[in-house]
Amino acid sequence: MLRAKGEITFTLDGKNYTAEQLRPAFMFAEDLLFTGGIKSSEDTYYQGQTYNVDVEFYTIEDNAFSILKPILKENMELAICSGRRILGIAKLRDFQYARA
């Protein structure tokens, strides 16, 4: 599993998100999306506000990590997605990979 720390901001006008239901995809590169569980002390994420969070990418295992490793960088900006719709932006850092 890959873990990261960072900041997220949701950008869709008028859309807020309940933390307990939130597992969006993060776009690391074109056609390279992975679902991430967002963890913080917040109950709700409001559009336009920035939050400090931890993100856990449960589906990133050895094969996927070997593809991602060369492109990971500190303060990497990624689109937060639901299908083709971009929900917001994440700026991630402190990537740590642990084998399951």
pLDDT at residue number 43: 93
Q: Which is it for strands 37-39 and 50-57: parallel, antiparallel or unpaired?
A: antiparallel
pLDDT at 79: 97
User: Does the domain made of 2-97 have the CATH classification 3.40.50.300?
Assistant: no
Q: Which amino acid is at 83?
A: G
Q: What is the pLDDT of residue 2?
A: 97
Are the C-beta atoms of 67 and 32 separated by less than 8 Å? yes
- pLDDT for 83: 83
pLDDT in tens, 13-60: 999 999 887 899 999 998 899 999 999 999 999 999 999 999 999 999
Sequence-separated (6 or more) residues with CB below 8 Å from residue 43:
18, 19, 20
Residue-range domain boundaries for the chain: 2-97
Structure confidence at residue 62 (pLDDT): 95
CA proximity to 2, closest of 83, 63, 75: 63
Which tokens in the block code for residue 20? 């307990």
Residue 100 has pLDDT above 90, yes or no: no
pLDDT digits (tens, 9 = 90+) for 74-86: 999 999 999 889 9
